Each structure stands twice: as C-alpha cells, then as structure tokens.
Amino acid sequence: MTPLAPALLALSLAAQAGTPPDSPAPPGAPPPPGSAPSAAPVAAAAPLLTDPTPQTRRYQIERIRFVGLERTREAVVRRHLLVAEGELLDEERVLLSRLRLLQLGWFSRVETRVERGSERGLVVLVVDVTERNTLIFTDLIFGWTPPAGVYGGFGLSQQNFLGRGLGLSGAFVYGGAPRDQPSDPDRFAARLSFFAPDVPVPGLRHNLVLGATAFVAHGEEFACQDPECQAFKSDYGAAPRIRYQRTMGELTVGTRPGAFERIAGTWRYEAVHAEEIGTLSAAGTGPPILLGNSKVSALTGTYEMDTRDDFFFPRDGMRSVVQVTFGSRLLGGDYEYSRYLLQLETAFSLLGHLRFQGAVGAAQGSAPFFERFYGADWSYFAIGPAVGRALELNFSTDSRYDAFLVMGGVEYGQPLWASGGFFKRGYLGLGTRIVYSTATLGGTRTPFSTTPLSADVALRFDTPVGVFNLSAGYLVDLFL
C-alpha cells in the first residue's frame, strides 16, 4: 500500500468533497453524485497543523470505522491498532497497524483508506478487513519406523475464540505399543494450550500476555549406546529402553513493550516417572533422566520480536526468539540445569524471495533429555535411524540428546498462484540446512545423520483450514 504525501492527501480529500483544496466544505455535506465514497488507500496517519497550505497541512483522525467485521469484536481489534481517534494522522503508524492486524491470523486481507470528516482538517480512517477461518489445523502427522510401525496425529487451533482474540489449541499423537512388545503400554502425547495475547489491565501502561499449557506423554526411549546396536537386528523388544510418563503444566505472564515485541515469563512444573526396561549395558547409557519419580520445576524468560509482513509467505521482516531457562531444587524440582536458545528467521526480497534461518542452543547441568536438543528435529531429514520427533515422542532407535546445537539454513520461495478458491495461495520452497550438535562443548558432532547437510523441496498451500506442506524432505526422512 503506497502512502500519500500530505499534499496528495489534501487533494484527495478535497476531490471527495467536490470543493477546491482551500475551500472549506460544509460540515456533514454529502459527496456530489458520482464522486468516489473514499480516497485512495493510505498506509498510515499524521498530525494536524495550523498552517493552511496543502504542502504542510496535517489531518486529525476524527473517527476510526471498521468494515468487514462479522465474528471479531471491534473493541478487540482496536486494541491492536497503533493509532486512535483524536490523534494526528501518521502514515507510518497506520502502516504498522495494518501489519499488526495481518500478523494476528484473523484476517486474510487488511486495507486502510481515509474519508473526509465532518469539517475541514478532520478525516475518518477506514479499516477494511476480510475475516478468515480461525479454526485451523496446526499439525498433521503421519510416520512409520521399523521399531514403532505406523504412528500419527493432528493438531487444531482456534485463534480467535468467541471473537475476543483468545487462542485455544490442542494436539495429539498416538503410536500404540512398540513392535515386538504388543503387551506394552501404548505410546501417546497430548497438549492443550490457552493464550490471551492482549489483556488490558487498568493502571498498566502495556497490556498483559497470559497463557497456560497442559501436556501429558507416555513414551519409550531406546538405551543402546549405538542406535544400530545388535539388539535392533533381530528383536526390538529385547533392546534395553527407558519407559517414562510425563505430566506437565505451564503458566505464562508477559507484556508487549512494542507492537511487534513480546516479553514473557513462564513457570513450568512437571511430574516424571521413568523405569528401566531390560538391562542397560552400562550406567548412564540411556537418555538423561532420573529413574523412579522425579519433578521438573523451571522458570523460562522469553523475548520475541516478529516484524514479518505475512504469516504464510513473508517477503520482508524478521522473527527472533531468545529463551533462557533455569531449573532448580530451589523451585521444588529435582534437576539443576540451565538452557539457552536463540532462533532467528529473516525474509526479504533478494534474488526473488530468500529466507535465512539460524539457531544456537546450549543446555548445562543435569537437564533431562527432553530439555536437551535432538538433532533430527532441526534438519529436513536424517540419513540413518534418527527421525524427527512427533509432539516430543521419539519413534526411532536413536535416543542421543545433545547439550549443544548450531543450525543454519536458507530457503528460496517461488510464488505459484493466488486465487479465491480453497487453495488460496501456493508456493514452491527450495531449502537447505546444516545442523551441528554435540554432547559436550567442543566435542565431536553427534552423527544423528551421515551428513550434517539436508535439503528439501516442498509445495506449500494456504487454505481456509490451515497451511499444508507436501515435503520431499519429510518423505526422505521416513525411508532413509
């Protein structure tokens, strides 16, 4: 959307009123027959000055009018605008408001324009939106591995519950009993989350961010030092393993210091039960976990900034996430550890549409295995037994979790179509990543794959029920 200079804006408003730019229009006078109901779109707003010349005249927002709201409450949308009635029209802040509304995921289209106000110097800012379906699929999981057989699951998210901007999401994965052990307990994981991104509190300058998550998992991790150990050649059921149950709850409180920033603190409490099945070849050869009953209690601080201009195919902007976690007996847990993670993703037009990705992570102390880094989670595919986990469940024979991680990647996207049908938009993604993870600082790379480099060719669709990904890398991961 192209911003209008103040002089062009003055001419545009005057044309609507059917009067010369310097001739005042009567308050409330309707536009002449055949005239346009609104001016050309503007991307922002600006202030009202006393200088009457069109080159320096600024305009005051008399009213903000919304068009297209059917399910979303107007008051909820207003909280995400960076402009307000009575303020001076500022182009940049209107543009940022439009970007902020698009990032919410509630609208497929957001346009802004100005209309003449009730008297000279006043304008009406019109926000014209097209609502999108906010009940969408977030996960669609299907896989197969020799020790697990077939497993699968799905996730759903309501991003605008009751039109109040609240988020509800859930996901579920089921894998059944392990192969060669039909009497063993079924493996499954489920997660349920609530998120309130913008809660006004009287007396506070910034609105609050509130969230809550519940998670439960029943799984098994193989405990051979070598993911291709001899026990896997004949009978997976004879291999030593760690069987565990996890029940976790999280509470999050945060704020937004800026329109595209979020700072949050999360307290996590988790009850864990783990038992040894079979005989481990040596002490400590299984994934790091305390046997019997134990507790994880940790605090996590998160800073997130997201300035991308589109949730599906961003052409500009970046997203960065910084997380620091401390778990301690002082908080009521049994694990003393710290965890650090930095993620970065950029999007900008260079040789078409390139996106750079990066991540750096470290875990110190006695962090349980699910607080460490699993290399296959960060690559497009792994040549070998490792497979990316599904909702934190590992269905492969590789159970090596690392304390240090570095990932870097680049993806090129080529738009293919944009239409009004079920498959609204689509693009072809070509990407490559390199992943280095190790158990000790300065140690050798964990060979979760025969090569640290992986690549992907993917066709991605934007639909009314979510974003879907047909990935060649995912298929390679299942069969190599």
The reply to whether 166 falls in a domain is no
Smallest CA-to-CA distance from 25 within 37, 9, 12, 13 is with 13
In sequence order, the β-bridge partners of residue 342 are 322, 360
From CA 380, how far away is CA 357, in angstroms rounded? 13
The reply to whether 406 falls in a domain is yes
Smallest CA-to-CA distance from 96 within 303, 259, 310 is with 259
Give the domain-ending residue among 131, 151, 183: 131
The reply to whether 146 falls in a domain is no
Q: In angstroms, how far apart are the furthest CA atoms of the chain?
A: 92
Compute φ and ψ for 107, nearest 5 degrees: -125, 140
CB 56 within 8 A of CB 16: no
311 and 385, same domain (yes or no): yes
Residue 234 pLDDT level (bands cut at 50, 70, 90)? low
Range of the domain at 328: 175-479
Region 193-214: what's the mean pLDDT?
Answer: 91
Region 319-329: what's the mean pLDDT?
Answer: 97
Region 200-222: what's the mean pLDDT?
Answer: 92
Give the domain-ending residue among 131, 164, 189: 131
pLDDT tens digits along 295-318: 999 999 999 999 988 888 888 889
94 and 230, same domain (yes or no): no
Residue 4 pLDDT level (bands cut at 50, 70, 90)? very low
367 and 474, same domain (yes or no): yes
The reply to whether 345 falls in a domain is yes
Residue 203 pLDDT level (bands cut at 50, 70, 90)? confident
The reply to whether 277 falls in a domain is yes
Residue 348 pLDDT level (bands cut at 50, 70, 90)? confident
The reply to whether 101 falls in a domain is yes
115 and 214, same domain (yes or no): no
123 and 209, same domain (yes or no): no
User: 71: exposed, middle or buried (C-beta count within 10 Å: 0-12, 13-18, 19+)?
Assistant: exposed
b/e sequence 265-282, b meaning 16+ C-beta within 10 Å? ebebbbebbbeebeebee
pLDDT tens digits along 79-125: 899 999 999 999 999 999 999 999 888 998 999 999 999 999 999 99
CATH number, domain with residue 300: 2.40.160.50
Region 336-346: what's the mean pLDDT?
Answer: 97
Comparison of pLDDT for 129 and 480, the residue scoring more: 129
CB 402 within 8 A of CB 431: no
Q: How many CA atoms lie within 13 A of 95 on its CB side?
A: 13
Write the CA distances from 421 to 121, 135, 417, integer angstroms.
42, 18, 11
Write the CA distances from 476 to 236, 383, 414, integer angstroms.
23, 8, 22
The reply to whether 139 falls in a domain is no
Q: Percent of the chain scored above 90 by pLDDT? A: 63
Least confident of 42-56, 187-201, 267-281: 42-56
Query: In the structure encoding, which two tokens stand for residue 453, read together?
Result: 């480099």
Query: In the structure encoding, which two tokens stand for residue 188, read together?
Result: 């499954």
348 and 222, same domain (yes or no): yes
List the Cα angle 69/33/22 in 5-degree steps. Answer: 90
From CA 173, how far away is CA 432, in angstroms rounded? 27
94 and 216, same domain (yes or no): no
- 3-class DSSP state for residue 98? helix
pLDDT tens digits along 361-391: 999 999 999 999 999 999 999 998 899 999 9
- How high does pLDDT run on average in the chain? 85
- 3-class DSSP state for residue 193? strand
215 and 81, same domain (yes or no): no
From CA 338, how far away is CA 335, in angstroms rounded? 10
Q: How many domains does the chain have?
A: 2
Comparison of pLDDT for 253 and 103, the residue scoring more: 253
Query: In the structure encoding, which two tokens stand for residue 427, read together?
Result: 């693009």
Query: In the structure encoding, which two tokens stand for residue 68, read together?
Result: 């297209």
The reply to whether 360 falls in a domain is yes
196 and 264, same domain (yes or no): yes
Residue 192 pLDDT > 70, yes or no?
Answer: yes
376 and 238, same domain (yes or no): yes
pLDDT, residue 182, reads: 78
Give the domain-ending residue among 77, 100, 131: 131
337 and 438, same domain (yes or no): yes
CATH number, domain with residue 117: 3.10.20.310
Side chain identity, residue 416: L
Residue 424 pLDDT > 50, yes or no?
Answer: yes
210 and 89, same domain (yes or no): no
